[in-house]
Amino acid sequence: MSFISSPVDWTTWTPVIPATLMFIVKDGRILLIEKKRGLGAGKINGPGGKIDAGETPLESVMRETQEELCVLPINPRKLGELWFSMGDIPDILCHVYRADDFTGTPTETEEAVPLWYSLQSIPYQRMWEDDIHWLPLLLEDKTFLGKFVFEGDSMQWSHVETGVAW
């Protein structure tokens, strides 16, 4: 089923789970992960995860990137937010960061396999369906707000605006 107008009233939508994503872009390549467990296991994504109680989004994305890949982003900046109405699981608000450098060596952990891709060969077919709607904006250094309605793994509706001030 596809909707022309949103099946969700975003003016009253209330996220349950705050989360983060980090994309490190360096020398014409992007550092992604193959997620080994949890929500989205088997998919390719950026490192990130749920924000712990008492953490800021920035603290969380630094911790998650260190835990999942053993690297620390340098000068991260927030470029986007993703609002996910998920249907069968609690709704997620995800803060999206970009960094252009890092310290450490990307290393496989219990949670993730590090994968470098050239910016011309990002594997969108192995990623969440929404990613192709906003990751190109992040690569252009543009800010964005994406709103997505999912049923299971299937995206039912999407809207992305750019030029958002965070």
Ligand X SMILES: Nc1ncnc2c1[nH]c(=O)n2[C@H]1C[C@H](O)[C@@H](COP(=O)(O)OP(=O)(O)OP(=O)(O)O)O1
Q: Which residues bind ligand X (CB under 6 A)?
A: 19-21, 38-40, 45, 48-50, 84, 92, 94, 128, 130-131
Q: Are residues 91 and 15 in contact, defined by beta-carbon separation less than 8 angstroms? A: yes
We find the least distance from the C-beta atom of residue 65 to ligand X, in angstroms, to be: 10
Nearer to ligand X, 27 or 37 (CB): 37
We find the least distance from the C-beta atom of residue 29 to ligand X, in angstroms, to be: 20
Nearer to ligand X, 79 or 94 (CB): 94
Helix or strand or coil: residue 36? coil
Residue 74 CA to residue 87 CA, distance in Å, equals 36
We find the least distance from the C-beta atom of residue 2 to ligand X, in angstroms, to be: 17
Nearer to ligand X, 27 or 89 (CB): 89
Closest CA to 119 of 34, 23, 36: 23
Q: Are residues 6 and 148 in contact, defined by beta-carbon separation less than 8 angstroms? A: no
